[in-house]
Chains A and B, each alone.
Chain A
Amino acid sequence: MTTLMINKTKYEVELKGHETLLEVLRDKLGLTGTKTSCMESECGACVVNIDKKAILSCITLAKDVEEKEVTTIEGLSDGETLHPAQQAFLDKGAAQCGFCIPGMIMSSNALLEKTHTPTQEEMEYALDGNICRCTGYIKIFEAVREAGQVMKKKGH
């Protein structure tokens, strides 16, 4: 059995060496907020945070993250209260179909953990691995800025 620490919860999971974190999250733990899309590290839909960094779960072996702190989109909210990044994406209308948004929010969260007032350049650097096919990125950047302000106020 392997112990995985996901969203501050310990999971004892029977893992095979070849299973990716993406497969384990979705198929074994039912955490389907992390999306399966390109499966070859191009699109960013499968981004989770590992030790506060944005990481692609489609090219991460699950056994390799034992003893690491994994956060998925399900781990951001506090009960019924959305995380400021989730709330800001909603308030700013930053999603259309929404499929890329969990990955987009997890990349944003990793950035906002480092700074609450990211510059445009820092946002572009942090989100350059998340592709959205529906919309432009303007509202997404507005949402990240807004979330940073809220996090600063709330002392996140």
Chain B
Amino acid sequence: MLLNPLEFHKPATLQAAVKLYSELPDARLLAGGTFLLNSLKTMKRRGNKTPSHVISLKHIPDLHGIAVKDEKLFIGSAVVINDLFASSLLTDNFALLRIVCRNISTNPIRNMATVGGNLTSRYTWTELGAALIALKADMHFVGPDLKEEVLSVEDFFANNARTNKILRAISIIKDKKIKSSYQRVKKLSDVDVPLLAVCVTAQFSGNHFKDTRVVINSGTAFAKRDLVLEKFLNESSAHKNLAQEALDHLDTPIYDTRSDDYKKAMFRVGIKNAINELISGREK
């Protein structure tokens, strides 16, 4: 027996799910299951108390689907990573998501793991957070009163990714002017243990950086912006030594959370590569 006994719930509507989640003590939400099922096994193995109820969100139509409406991309929280990866709607600034999805774990996991689970499982290595902060995405939650609450992905992670509501969807404003770069390094090429993830987005006014966002992940508890570096870049124009110069303008305490010097150095390499990629791709 892999798991401790639990009661399984399969609500067919968002209303029913929200009601169950607010009424059942000790319930956990099941989206793709790639994080939850493994963590339940670990809890059992360690002799920890495991939840008595699991509420599956897979069968709720409101949580599925990818659509563009009023120049905004909406992604249902139950959309799986491979379906997002394959979506023809990932154009312009949304194309960054395809690169991020490609880099998430393995194919069967990408067939199961959901956008919502990736954001809300409070797992340090989740990948979408950095890209969605860089793209200024919003999260649409629904609570027991069925009212929708919109929160930026940045604020959600700043609050340690905690919520007692159900995530319905993500939305991102379409912006053709945004250029992006995503750098990710794994510990081994075949095993998805990330050492770093860096996502940089910017617009260019001629040669000048504008509205830059630098978000790092995997080295921090949750995805986080480097505001010091953003300020430096926003006051800079593109030139061949900029990436090197930028390394003297990092919010160093963020990177110091990594224990090993080589990991800190890897972040510097990632940031440098991201800036160089943005500069070389700014005319495209």
Contact = CB atoms under 8 A, between A and B. Distances in A.
B38 A18 contact: no
24 contacts: A17-B5, A18-B2, A18-B6, A20-B3, A41-B108, A44-B106, A44-B108, A53-B82, A54-B107, A54-B108, A55-B108, A59-B34, A59-B112, A61-B33, A61-B37, A64-B33, A66-B10, A107-B107, A107-B108, A125-B102, A125-B107, A127-B107, A128-B107, A129-B109
A60 interface: yes
A4 interface: no
Contacts of A127: 107
A126 interface: yes
B237 interface: no
A146 B108 CA distance: 22
A44 B4 CA distance: 23
Interface string A8-25: 000000001111101100
Interface residues of B, number: 28
Q: Which of B4, B58, B109, B190 has the most C-beta atoms of chain A within 10 angstroms of its own C-beta? A: B109
A55 B58 contact: no
B33 A60 contact: yes
Contact of B1 (A18, A40, A63, A125): A18
A107 to B, nearest CB: 7
Nearest to B107: A129
Q: Which of B4, B5, B107, B108 has the most C-beta atoms of chain A within 10 angstroms of its own C-beta? A: B108
Nearest to A131: B190
B109 A17 contact: no
A59 B3 CA distance: 10
Interface string B5-30: 11110100000000000000000001
Contacts of A19: 3
B12 to A, nearest CB: 11
Interface string B107-119: 1110110000000
B54 A17 contact: yes
Contacts of A18: 1-6, 8
Nearest to B3: A18
Given A17-B54, A40-B38, A59 B6 contact: no
Interface of B: 1-8, 10, 30, 33-34, 37-38, 41, 54, 56, 58, 82, 102, 105-109, 111-112, 190
Contacts of B106: 44, 128-129
Contact of A61 (B30, B107, B111): B30
A59 B1 CA distance: 13
B56 A64 contact: yes
A56 B109 CA distance: 8
A138 B157 CA distance: 43
A21 to B, nearest CB: 10
A112 interface: no
The 10 closest A-B pairs by CB, nearest first: A129-B106, A17-B8, A59-B37, A18-B3, A129-B108, A53-B111, A63-B8, A129-B107, A56-B108, A18-B6
A47 interface: yes
Contacts of B33: 59-61, 64
A23 B111 contact: no
